[in-house]
Amino acid sequence: MATQEKSMINSFTSSFTSWKAPFTPMPPAFSLSVSSPGRPVVHLRGDLTIQANLVLEALRRVNQAHHRIFQQGRRLVRRIHDPLTDRNRLEPIGSSKLLAGEIVRLLQLEKNGRTLEALPGPLAEHLFGLEPEQWQVPMLHAIRHVPFFDPQGNLIETGGYHAPQGIWLDLGDLKLPEVPFHPTHAQVSSAKALIDDLLADFPFDSTASRANALSLILLPSVRLMVHGPAPLFLNSASMPGSGKTALAQVPGVLYGGKIPAVMPEPPKDDEELTKRIVGVLQAGQELAIFDNVNRKLDSSILAGLATSTTFSGRALYQQEPLSLPNRTQWVFTANNPVMSKEFERRFLLIRLDPGVENPQNRTFRHPDLHQWILAHRPELLWAVLVLVRSWQAAGSPSGAVLEGGMRQFCEVMGGLTEFLGFDPVFANRAELTEQAGGDDQDLGEALECWFGAHATRPVTASDLGQLWEKAGVQPSGLNGYTAVHIGRYMQAQRGVVLGRYRINLSRSGRNTRYHLSLV
């Protein structure tokens, strides 16, 4: 090697050695060698953004083992064990102080070689202000306490977090008899007898109502197998004391292990109703009961709840709308309810008719049904799972689709009820049509009045308003007789066919005319 080259190398080596000598390596940002067992050490450095990224990186790793922090909808929640109930529950992380406490619980923080007892306030506020998606923590929709079937029909019975479904299974001390893949005839007969015993005290008016009640009980176990919306359940009775609320609470007692609370009838105000629904969905409730509905069921929000697997709306004290999965079982109870026409295909009717003056004084096989369920809960849950498994072993035959808007529900739940020897679901839909027929009757009278005065000739909104006001006819949904009121009402009725009439609308410039045609 040339002398000049050697000289250059020696010079570079000398410079490198003198530069390296005073250098002190930076501590790693994340270390699993911790002074406090189980809490990884995070060395904070840099500005708030860098520190936040260091904390988030460490938190994601430790959270994979602890499964403590989750995203639920558009909020962060923590999973905590409630010693009073000996169960896991979800609690929103609603403040920077609460968030800071969770971080210190999971991580040990150091800065400039000094251990921090708490997360610095500015860093806590910065982290709390991040969007939930930036945390990249697992999604958790609900905590369940009973084995369930996943969307592919597999029985999930191992406790813990199940990421594909976003569900935490907390079985507690629940121990079920083994559920066979191919139940024997004797096992199926035993399971049917247990469910018959459960339903023995309810005076169903028909086999169709009994089949719908069976679907009320079976649905929570197979809800994920219904790849579409589920109807609202309507427990109707001819008079108070028939057992409609007790029946509505059965799924909560059976699957939740406690008697569920009920809510009063839905509020009239759409904003308040939306907040109540969002609160239920955010909490991951499997069952929600609107009890003793006295007024007419007529709400576009409730109607939409029955036809979508997601629900969007604002939560209490929040401005940004949330979009939440709608897996809740919604049940309404009422005595001889009245509803708008749009609900006749959205409700699954369970009608009770005891046929006595004081139904609450009847002789019952189980005088305290809910306590009986709690005492026999393992056997009853085993019966539910065996019945589903027997249906699966037979090839999961699909049920008759009697309501096209609920095809998936009809195929799965109707398949179960028919396989078990009951009617298909929605078999008593005609009764709902009659209960919702008040709207049709009112409109039918208005159309007869219209045709009698004008036949098929075009008329204006003012013509109709004067005619109906004079005749004392006011279809449901018409709020007044002015041209504006009539125009708004008729806009919603165009194309409607009722009886022998079809309602038609035509425009010429700014003029709108309405006429009937015979069908």
What CATH number does the domain containing 351 carry?
Answer: 3.40.50.300
Cα–Cα distances (Å) from 244 to 172, 247, 445, 464, in that order, read: 30, 5, 34, 43
How confident is the model at residue 15, as a pLDDT? 35
Q: Is the dihedral of CA 352, 355, 358, 361 positive or negative?
A: negative
Q: Give the integer Cα–Cα distance in Å for 510 and 465.
A: 19
155-187 per-residue burial string, b: 16 or more CB within 10 A, e: under 16: bbeeeebbeebbbbbbbeeeebeebeeebeeeb
Same domain assignment for residues 45 and 64: yes
Lowest mean pLDDT among 34-38, 98-102, 318-322, 370-374: 34-38
Which residue reads 């507690």 in tokens? 172
pTM of the model: 0.78
Average of per-residue pLDDT across 62-83: 88
Q: Are strands 155-156 and 148-149 parallel, antiparallel or unpaired?
A: antiparallel
Q: Which of 1-5, 42-46, 113-117, 379-383 has the highest mean pLDDT?
A: 379-383
- Report pLDDT for 393: 97
Cβ-contact 146, 174 below 8 angstroms: yes
- Asked if the model's pLDDT at residue 36 lies above 60, the reply is no
Has residue 1 been placed in a domain? Answer: no
Q: What is the pLDDT of residue 20?
A: 33
Pair 325, 338: CB distance under 8 Å: no
> Do 380 and 373 touch, CB atoms closer than 8 A?
yes
Would you place residue 2 in the very low, low, confident or very high pLDDT band (cuts 50, 70, 90)?
very low
The mean pLDDT value for 426-452 works out to 78
3-class DSSP state for residue 343? helix
Return the pLDDT at 24: 35
d(CA 130, CA 44): 18
In angstroms, the Cα distances linking 309 to 295, 323, 404, 410 are: 26, 10, 16, 15
Strongest mean pLDDT among 76-80, 109-113, 407-411:
407-411
Contact 263, 304 (CB under 8 A): no
If phi > 0 it is left, if psi is from -120 to 50 it is alpha, else beta; for residue 110 that is: beta
Angle at 39 between CA 33 and CA 42, to 5 degrees: 70
The predicted model gives 236-248 an average pLDDT of 91
Number of structural domains the chain divides into = 3
325 found inside a domain: yes
Interatomic CA distance for residues 504 and 493, integer angstroms:
8
Residue 38: per-residue pLDDT: 67
Which residues contact residue 411 at a Cβ distance below 8 angstroms, ignoring those fewer than 6 apart?
Answer: 398, 399, 401
The strand order across the sheet containing 142-144 reads: 142-144, 167-169, 160-162
Q: Worst-scoring range by mean pLDDT, 193-197, 361-365, 463-467, 475-479?
A: 475-479
Q: Pick from 140, 165, 198: which residue ends a domain?
A: 140
Whether 161 is in a domain gets the answer: no
With cut-offs at 50, 70 and 90, classify the pLDDT of residue 207: very high
Do residue 396 and residue 443 come from a single domain? no
Query: Which pLDDT does position 344 carry in this prediction?
Result: 79
Give yes or no: residues 465 and 335 share one domain: no
User: What pLDDT sits at residue 65?
Assistant: 86
Task: Say if 158 falls within a structural domain.
Answer: no
403, pLDDT greater than 50: yes
Q: For residues 347 and 360, what is the distance between their CA atoms, to the nearest angstrom?
A: 26
User: Is the residue at 90 inside a domain?
Assistant: yes
Indicate whether 64 and 199 sit together in one domain.
Answer: no
DSSP codes joined into one string, 181-233:
SS--HHHHHHHHHHHHHHHTT--BSSHHHHHHHHHHHHHHHHGGG--S--PEE
**Residue 307 · residue 405 · CB < 8 Å:** yes
- Region class of 497: left (phi > 0), else alpha (psi between -120 and 50), else beta: beta
**pLDDT at residue 436, as a whole number:** 53
- Looking at residue 7, what is its pLDDT? 47
**Is 290 in a helix, a strand, or coil?**
strand
- What's the rounded mean pLDDT across residues 325-334? 93
Residue 7 is assigned to a structural domain of this protein: no
Q: Give per-residue pLDDT as tens, 141-179.
A: 889 999 999 999 999 999 999 999 999 999 988 999 999
pLDDT of res. 454: 93
User: How much is the average pLDDT of 234-258?
Assistant: 93
Backbone angles phi, psi at 226, to 5 degrees: -90, 100
Q: Model confidence at 192, in pLDDT bands (50, 70, 90)?
A: very high
Residue 278 lies in a domain: yes
pLDDT of residue 30: 36
Residue 516, both tokens: 């009937």
Task: With respect to residue 247, please indicate whether it lies within any of the assigned structural domains.
Answer: yes
State whether residue 176 is helix, strand or coil.
coil
Question: pLDDT tens-digit profile of 350-370?
Answer: 999 988 888 888 889 999 999
**Residue 231 sits in the same domain as residue 360:** yes
Q: In this predicted structure, which of 84-93, 120-129, 183-192, 451-460 has the lowest mean pLDDT? A: 84-93
Q: Name residues whose C-beta falls within 8 Å of residue 20's C-beta, 6 or more positions apart in sequence.
A: none
Q: Is residue 456 located within the same domain as residue 419?
A: no
Q: What are phi and psi of 498, to 5 degrees?
A: -140, 120
Q: What is the distance between the alpha carbons of residues 144 and 284, in angstroms, rounded to a whole number?
A: 9
Residues 261-288 pLDDT 10s: 999 999 988 889 998 999 898 888 999 9
Task: Show the domain range for 305.
Answer: 185-435
Is there a single domain that holds both residue 424 and residue 487?
Answer: no
Position 90 pLDDT exceeds 70 = yes
Same domain, 304 and 202: yes
Q: Name the one residue in this structure whose structure tokens are 């708030």.
A: 48
Question: Residue 500 pLDDT more than 50?
Answer: yes
Helices (H), 70-184: 96-106, 121-128, 132-135
Residue type at position 255: Y
Average pLDDT, the chain: 86
* Residues forming beta bridges with residue 30, ordered by sequence position: 42
Q: How far is CA 110 from the centre of its chain?
A: 42
Residue 43 pLDDT exceeds 50: yes
Q: Which amino acid is at 503?
A: I
Q: What is the crossing angle of helices 207-222 and 244-251, to 10°?
A: 30
420 and 288 in a single domain? The answer is yes
Q: Do 385 and 445 fall within a single domain?
A: no
pLDDT at 99: 93
Cα 368 to its chain centre, rounded Å, is 29
Please give the Cα distance from 403 to 143 (Å, whole number): 31
Of 91-100, 392-401, 495-504, give the range with the top mean pLDDT: 392-401
3-class SS at 116? strand
Which residues, other chains included, contact 504 with Cβ-Cβ below 8 Å and sequence gap of 6+? 494, 495, 514, 515, 516, 517
Average pLDDT on 326-340 reads 90
For residue 444, pLDDT over 80 is answered with: yes
Is the same domain home to 324 and 463?
no
Quote the percentage of the chain above a pLDDT of 70. Answer: 90
Q: How confident is the model at residue 466 (pLDDT cuts 50, 70, 90)?
A: very high
Given 416, 435, 454, the domain boundary residue is 435
Residue 113's pLDDT band (cuts 50, 70, 90): confident
Give me the sign of the Cα torsion angle 222, 226, 227, 230.
negative
In a shared domain, residues 219 and 353: yes
pLDDT over 60 (residue 18): no
Residue-level pLDDT at 424: 96
For residue range 504-513, what is the model confidence (pLDDT) as tens digits?
988 887 788 9
Partnered with residue 72 across adjacent β-strands are: 75
pLDDT: which is higher, 58 or 430: 58
Domain boundary among 372, 402, 435: 435
Query: Cβ-count burial of 12 within 10 angstroms (0-12 exposed, 13-18 middle, 19+ buried)?
Result: exposed
As a whole number, mean pLDDT of residues 48-75 equals: 91
pLDDT at 439 > cutoff 70: no
Q: What are the tokens at 400?
A: 């008759």
